[in-house]
Amino acid sequence: MGPPNADVEIEQIENQPQSKAKSGWRVSLIGGAIASLVVLIINLAITLWSINLPTGVFEVSDTGRRVLFEGSCSTSRRLNTLLHLLINILSSILLAASSYGMQCLSAPTRAEVDKAHRAQKWMDIGILSVRNLRLISWQRSIPWIVLMLSSLPLHLLYNSMVYASLSTVNYYVYNVDERARWSPASSIIDGQGATELFELAREENWERLTPLECINGYATGFQTSRRDVLLVCGEGFESDQKDAYSKTYVTSGTVGSAPNSSCGESPFEWVCPNSGCSPCQDLLPAVRKQADDWKPFGYRVKYCLSQPVRQLCRINLSMPIAITIVCANALKTVVLMYAAFHPPKEPLFVLGDAVKSFLQTPDVFSRDMCLASADKIKWLGIQDCAGPEFSSLKRRRWAAAASWRRWSMGCLLYCLALGVAAFFLVWGVNTLGSPGIRTLWNMGFGAASDATLIVLKTNYGGYSKQEKEILTSIFMANAPQLFFSVLYFQYNGLFTCMLSAKEWSDFGRERKSIRVSSKPLGEQRSRYFLQLPYRFSVPLLLLSILIHWMLSQSIFLVAVEKLINEDDNYQLLEWAFATCGYSPIAIMFVILASFIMVLWVGITACLKLPTPIPLVGGCSLAIAAACHHPDGAAQLNAPLVPLQWGVMGNSEPQEESGYRHCGFSSEEVDEL
């Protein structure tokens, strides 16, 4: 029912002073540009600060990196996790601001809508639209394309701007008789016998380990904290062999190969006695249980003497990537500022803008189409939608707000992403020998180990070995980031369509004031978002940050360096290799978060809209058709007061059909 004194109310509103506040969309866009500028300052400051940091290069070509941290591997892992969380927060802020700017730039003006309708076409209003690009001016389409292209470095490179590297050390395993510890020194092999080894261990304060501690300390493909080890045996050696020993050289930090092994297993195969070609990783639980009877070389080990080495794990920053990110960030900031301070004339950003414009200046191409829906216009065309019709009182579900193409594309992308993630998870777990959840959890998020490395082929020229490995690993590690961003935009678009339909349908149930992006007049409402309310946009942004971070911990760049013995100090590093590592537990969490996304959008899609009002889906022609007065007159003051959609009480039945007129009105209307 309409207000009893609508004319008086409108007159009072006209006499009210107009708001001097900036347009809501401009405030939001300026806020996005400022956020982009803040991120730019952070990125630029880090890049400039890193220029004078050590390169960490030793007798290899400069890979353009700077060492941010060097020290304990556990500290390095924690710092790496926190830095990637920060990177994903910053990148999500940039992408959100960029998405907002792209939606503003692709929004049509009233003149462009009229031109499209004249050409038997229609435009999208209130949603991020690609189809609008060919219908809007080049002054907005080119900045839109620049914003899109400047997002590619963020997807493909940003997470690899900072990466961790492990420092591994090769070592000897000595199998010695305990009796040599108390024997006089002798020289039987290269001037050094077992007695001299014991003396060396005593002088350098080698650590004494139990058999179990020794197993745990050396059962790793990346040996970062220990070097040579004496396996002290209490029995088995003949009396005349007490000063003799056997030794094995172990190459740590290799990808899928053990020393002198035809089975291609891990470097610590020596830990497992008589393992054959069974991976030692699978046999470790049994070996640990029988640690008191541990016989890696046929002799029972009483204890070990281990040479400790200071860990030199690193957090590195790639200068070429950092410079690329700064340039892309700067480009985004400039474009967002341009979009905010060069607004188009009479833009139609949200549904309320379109309703206001079409009520005050009726569209001549949509007369007698008051019940036309977006689906009908898309399927039948503009000409076949003309003329009166009867609409059933069937309430539709929220899912009907988005086109079948949008739903199909979203489902296809989701199934593809889920299939790839599930494949990598199954493949990774099988590669690890199907360990339990506790084992996978203990491996951690984004933690590299020899068992979770992906062997990459870099058969392309023009670059050094290090550059090839890093480039290949970077693009492989960040491909999921780009794919998820495309999926997220599709996901965000579905919510935008459904919430837009909910807002539209509410006008058929109750009288409401319209929400506009420009300065609000009268009882109009203005907000700093477009179609997504904060209760949806904020959780979606947080979910995006979380999944981007988990993806960065699921598959990631791994660089391995070798500790070089410089005067027995083991302080220098040389390049070993770079590849990608994966974390099965992180992949599991990504899949779980994906299910939550689907559940959220699925439950929302199943809700029923409050009224059977025809859905416009952002279609400019369908919106215009719902804004005609029965006599075709302009309704200049109607947008200033609350409106309702329905059967207009003052409309007479049309002669040909006998139907009455439906549309938006500030006057009394009846429900359809």
Per-residue pLDDT tens digits for 130-189: 889 999 999 999 999 999 999 998 888 998 899 888 888 888 888 887 776 654 443 334
Q: CA-based angle 268:269:273, to the nearest 5?
A: 125
pLDDT tens, 414-454? 888 888 888 888 887 887 766 777 777 777 777 777 777 77
Q: Please provide the average confidence, as pLDDT, over all residues in the chain.
A: 80
User: Phi, psi at residue 618, to the nearest 5°?
Assistant: 80, 0
Q: Tens digit of pLDDT for each residue in 444-499? A: 777 777 777 776 655 544 455 666 778 888 888 888 888 888 888 888 889 988 98
Lowest mean pLDDT, pick from 10-24, 142-156, 348-362, 582-596: 10-24
Count other Cβ atoms within 10 Å, centred on residue 337.
18
Token pair of 35, please? 């956020």
C-alpha span between 67 and 56 (Å, rounded) = 6
Question: Residue 87's pLDDT is what?
Answer: 93
Question: Is this prediction's pTM over 0.85?
Answer: no
- Beta-sheet strand order (sheet of 207-209): 207-209, 301-308, 226-233, 171-177, 245-250
**Distance between CA atoms of residues 504 and 618, nearest Å:** 10
For the chain, give the number of residues: 672
List all residues 6 or more positions away from 240 whose beta carbon is below 8 Å from its beta carbon: none
Which CA distances in Å does 40 have to 46, 90, 133, 307, 478?
10, 10, 28, 46, 21
Taking only the tens place, the pLDDT of each residue in 621-662 is: 999 988 988 887 888 888 899 998 888 866 555 545 455 788
Dihedral sign from CA coordinates of 243, 246, 251, 253: negative
From residue 455, give the alpha-carbon distance in Å to each of 23, 77, 167, 384, 490.
54, 22, 19, 59, 33
**Tokens linked to 173:** 């395993």
* Residues whose CB is less than 8 angstroms from the CB of residue 420 and which lie 6 or more positions away in sequence, other chains included: 480
- In eight-state DSSP terms, residue 522 is T
What average pLDDT does range 180-200 have in this prediction? 57
Q: What percent of the chain has pLDDT over 70?
A: 79
Highest mean pLDDT among 163-167, 370-374, 454-458, 550-554: 550-554
Q: In terms of Cα–Cα distance, which of 348, 429, 498 is closest to 25?
A: 348
Tell whether the model's pLDDT for residue 326 goes beyond 50: yes
Q: Is residue 291 over pLDDT 50?
A: yes
φ/ψ (deg, to 5) at 601: -70, -30
**Packing angle between helix 73-106 and helix 138-150, nearest 10 degrees?**
170
What pLDDT is recorded for position 178? 74
Which pLDDT band, with edges at 50, 70 and 90, does 571 fall under? low
